[in-house]
Structure 1
């Protein structure tokens, strides 16, 4: 495995810029993940050294897109690598077009519409507005968000703290979402206009330059080389 030892947020940014693709937890054999390159003792401490907090700061700073883009697992994709990755894993067709062809659920389409109308919407607010607050709607809600992230239609834009009427923090922070198009444009990232074959070739060259043959087997499956 590439041997990175990261202590600060700034050091983590350098790793993301270098390798371009960083899972939150182990996803690829002999390949870094945010939890493998940082100290376990800093996780969930709430300090400036807490990588769990960084995951929501990276997209806010435009350093990397963050979401469950691969195998329903959370990953960070650098701004530089994002156009290639979107061409490879995403779809050039709209959410509605895919829905008409049976490739997207009705819930996913409804959630995408709400997110596009309320960029940066809090997950709790989104669930209420979608009419999915009831317990039996949690699974369709979660699955809809996973579908949209899997096609790279939406991105985690950050987290929002739960507050009481006095404005004091009261409970766990929740995720907020933006459409990928909005996030990319806001951070001046080029659109995914490159052809799929060329994007795959560039990604393959990128990962081959520092990954072992064993690691590349898993990379091949992820990016469908």
Structure 2
């Protein structure tokens, strides 16, 4: 139990420092100091700083994908719109709960490094598969309009990452501060408006019959 706690403390410290000082600007000794542990502890769990980076990015993306996968599985019992909203709500909550790590990972994956390319290859394939299946099912069931699915996915991903990649734009345009507690609820509603007015065929019907979608499924 103690070792698990130490590992998590290292992860939390690294996420905070990588986010605030950048990966290159953070040393292993700084992570150890913030964690109040020895450098040897970091070596034991992650090998080196690159190993720690790989773990942070991979584990974050695995958690992200698990949310989309759960929404995809729900296609058997829910409408495509409900599944899409489940994914959106789940992702927004996940990002809020891991805000330092979210901001760091989203920035890091914009860099064209060998490590990021290797990790992202599998991640992008799975993410595209789940989202594409939800959109294709929605179109087939005449819930969604015949939209170009790749563009819809890119638009959705852009909106989901906006609070953490462009916080200044969020505050100026929507008057939402990404790190305030209410941002998930308020911003999720903004994305849901996009789903209702841009993706759904029967917009008004979808809005009139709207019921809150629980995040946990």
Instruction: From the two aligned structures, give the one with the greater strand fraction.
Output: 1
Instruction: From the two aligned structures, give the one with the greater helix fraction.
Output: 2
State the TM-score, normalizing by the size of structure 2.
Answer: 0.28
State the TM-score, normalizing by the size of structure 1.
Answer: 0.27
